[in-house]
Amino acid sequence: MRCPFLREAHVQSCQASPFRKQIVRSGGAAGERCGTAAWRECSVARELTEEHPSAGTCPFHSESLVQYCSTAPVTKFIPWSDQAFSRCGSESHRFCDLYLALARTPAPAAIPGEPAPATADADGIPVPGWLWFASSHTWLDIASDGVCHIGVDAFLARTLGGIDRVQFVTSKGLERPAAVLTVRDVDITVSFPNPVFITAVNGALRADPARLARDPYGLGWLFEGIVRDRTVVGNGTPKIADGLLRGSAATAWMRREGLRLRALAEAASERISGVRLAADGGLPAPGLIRTLPHEEALRLSHLLLSTSTDEERFS
Ligand code: SF4
């Protein structure tokens, strides 16, 4: 599905004019003169000669089909055949900054044969029902046209708090997507467990890394890719999502992760005398990693993201 904000228009321009100005065709006065015998009255056309001018239409009058974004602050017409709007013409538009500014969250990816999925709440952590979750606290969104996006989940984003720098370890081709997130003086490597054909990374995170924690399921996406292997491995799970969880199973796992984080935070608080890190009965305060001493922050992030098998992690 294409972006609902993408528009098409016929534009007219004058090839004789020193300034290229495109005017949307609307039957207005400028278009009428160029497309009729009245073009001979135009001073610009009169200055130039054309060997076999048409009597009815100005030879310098050109018309083309263009596309433009109706939400952009400045309208920019792009020839219809240009690839610049390839994102707008695919499901990839759901992760465009301008689209998200109006839609606020990516529209749920449709799941064939199921009603529109909702977002569950795992003790304060949102778990969108259409996303696949990996034990490495990364998520996967697969659109109907095979475009996929990967990011870190709201649980990890909350635990890290503000992120100071994002570096992409992988950026193109068939890879297991990985990135290094820097929080204060701690580097944390997050990786998606399955190979993905990466087509783009979210370069906006380099200039504004905080958007990752601010909007982990939208503006904070990390990788864009394409699902080339549509093989299904069991229960209708696409191969790219093998070993990942979705829906109620993902929500239950996220709740268990909350308990695990609390236990890790309490263990850390015992090592740091006099500092209480975990609130009774709930998740530790947001930005836990940022509040810990360097060694404890490294230890906790390693334990949280340690790569035992998915069967062990999800149990
Ligand atoms: S730039 Fe963004 S909002 Fe505008 S048409 Fe393209 S995808 Fe839609």
What tens digit of pLDDT does each residue of 192-240 get?
999 999 999 999 999 999 999 999 999 999 999 999 888 888 777 899 9
292 within a domain of the structure (yes/no): no
**Averaged pLDDT, 270-286:** 70
Count of domains observed in the chain: 2
Q: Is residue 25 predicted with pLDDT exceeding 60? A: yes
Mean pLDDT of 64-89: 80
My answer on whether 120 and 26 are in the same domain is no
pLDDT band, very low/low/confident/very high, at 39 (cuts 50, 70, 90): confident
Q: Considering only the C-alpha atoms of the chain, give the largest distance between any 2 of them, rounded to a whole number of Å.
A: 92
Choose one of 209, 228, 251: the last residue of a domain.
251
pLDDT of residue 309: 47
**For position 147, which CATH number holds?**
2.40.50.100
Domain-located, residue 256: no
Domain end point (choices 251, 273, 293): 251
Q: Greater confidence, 231 or 30?
A: 231
Q: Are 126 and 236 in a shared domain? A: yes
Other CB atoms within a 10 A radius of the CB of residue 5 amount to 17
Q: Is the pLDDT of residue 283 over 50?
A: yes
280, part of any domain: no
Residues 37 and 122 reside in one and the same domain:
no
Considering the chain, what is the average pLDDT of its residues?
85
Q: How far apart are CA 167 and CA 182, in angstroms?
A: 8
Q: Indicate whether 83 pLDDT > 80.
A: no
Q: Determine the average pLDDT of the residues in 22-37.
A: 66
Q: Residue 160 and residue 148: Cα distance in Å, rounded?
A: 24
In terms of domains, do 67 and 139 share one? no
Cα–Cα distance for residue pair 4/89, rounded to 1 Å:
9
Residue nearest to atom 3 of ligand 1 (CA): 99
Segment 2-8 shows an average pLDDT of 88
- Cα 107 to Cα 274: distance, rounded to the nearest angstrom: 46
Question: Given pLDDT bands bounded at 50, 70 and 90, which one contains residue 248?
Answer: very high
Share of the chain above pLDDT 90, in %: 46
In terms of domains, do 162 and 224 share one?
Answer: yes
Whether residues 220 and 147 fall in one domain: yes
For residue 71, report the distance from its CA to the centre of ligand 1, in Å.
Answer: 7
The verdict on 142 and 245 lying in the same domain is yes
Q: What region, left, alpha or beta, does residue 194 occupy, with left being phi > 0 and alpha being psi -120 to 50 degrees?
A: beta
pLDDT > 70 fraction of the chain, expressed in percent and rounded: 84
Q: Is 308 within a domain?
A: no
- pLDDT, tens digit, 9 for 90 and up, residues 140-184: 999 988 999 999 999 999 999 889 999 999 999 999 999 999 999
| Closest approach atom of ligand 1 to CA 93 | 7
Band (266; pLDDT cuts 50, 70, 90): confident
Whether 142 and 56 map to the same domain: the answer is no
Asked whether residue 235 is assigned to any structural domain, the reply reads yes
Between the CA of 288 and the centroid of ligand 1 the distance, in Å, is 36
Picking from 251, 276, 295, the residue at the C-terminal end of a domain is 251
Q: Is 59 in the same domain as 172?
A: no
CB–CB of 210/140 below 8 Å?
A: no
Q: Which residues span the domain enclosing 129?
A: 114-251
Mutational pocket test of ligand 1: of 74, 88, 90, 97, the residue with most ligand atoms within 8 Å of the beta carbon: 88
Specify whether 247 is located in the same domain as 118.
yes
With respect to residue 136, please indicate whether it lies within any of the assigned structural domains: yes
Q: Is 261 helix (H, G, I), strand (E, B) or coil?
A: helix
**Which is the closest atom of ligand 1 to the Cα of 6?**
5
Kindly state whether residue 51 falls inside one of the protein's structural domains: yes
Local structure of 290: helix, strand or coil: helix
Does 69 reside within a domain? yes
Q: Same domain for 166 and 125?
A: yes
Same domain for 76 and 130, yes or no, is no
pTM of the model: 0.82
